[in-house]
Amino acid sequence: MKLKFESTDQSLFFSKNDPQDPRIGDIAVAKSDLASLNNGPVIMGYPDDEGTKLNGGRVGSALAPTEIRKQLYRLTIPQRDLIIHDVGNLSLEGSLLERHDRAKLSCSEILKSAAPLITLGGSHDYAFSDGAAFIEHCERSGLHPIIINFDAHLDVRPNDSGPNSGTPFFRLLNEYAGRFDLLQIGIQPWCNSSVHLNWIKERGAQILALEDLLHSDAFSTISQFILKTARPTSSFFLSLDVDGFSSAFAPAASQVFPIGLDPTTVLKAIYFIKASWSIKLLGVYELNPTYDVDFRTSKLAATLIHQTVF
């Protein structure tokens, strides 16, 4: 299968042209050859919201890769000797399943040489492609794969009628059963079926619901939750579904809720994981720029990416 990408618009690579004030846009390089990434972090976009539409969400996340790049490439950097490789956006040719297959192959190729990989959704169904590539990479590398999904939803809807934004972890738990650990953090009880909750628990996934965080010190609870599963050989894929955050922080999502995760808590969790393990892959999904306010949500995504990379 031939991998196809649409190149990132060069105007997104922001620079102040000031050697005393370098920005990520100064060290980001458009790259078309996945075989020569030289161990630098990689940005790849999924400008695709068909999965959200199929699941009844509000469309618009196809615009997110561009908007996240606009904010990310304006942020400052601690050093100039790092190179960020931007391979562009996945081509949207073919069916949704075919696009998922190409996304998985692209991730697999990138993970051979780059750490971390940052994917910009797009619908959350691409977490299947990212997760599948991540699990297989860890198996080849002798690592223990842990996927953490920060989200309001479990996203384990059956894919009998095909994939959509609600199916990624149903597919992963079926196709990679027993080969990875799945931790779901921030799940909101008012928007998840008890049938889906029982199904995912029966398959060994660990759930830390939003109410568990509201009744405790949130960061301490999350860190202890992670420690129960992590090993010295663990590597992490962090799946950030923007609708898991409170709409006060992230008004631009495919679905929004007034109560949700606090970005500071999630940032602390990222710091905690980085201190002892590798974050091999970070995916940001369901950011819908059509509904953003003062670029609040795209800036949140950019900040979380920045702190994962640097």
Residues 103 and 55: their CA atoms lie apart, in Å, by 20
pLDDT of residue 81: 82
Within 10 Å of residue 20's Cβ, how many Cβ atoms? 5
Residues 241 and 24: their CA atoms lie apart, in Å, by 23
pLDDT of residue 153: 98
Q: Is the pLDDT of residue 149 over 90?
A: yes
Residue in the structure block whose two tokens are 């628990």: 201
Q: pLDDT for 159-211, tens place per residue?
A: 998 999 999 999 999 999 999 999 999 999 999 999 999 999 999 999 999 99
Strands (E), 16-165: 28-30, 42-46, 84-90, 117-121, 144-150
Query: Using 50, 70 and 90 to split pLDDT, how confident is the model at 309?
Result: very high
Residues 167 and 148: their CA atoms lie apart, in Å, by 16
| Domains of the chain as residue ranges with CATH | 5-309 (3.40.800.10)
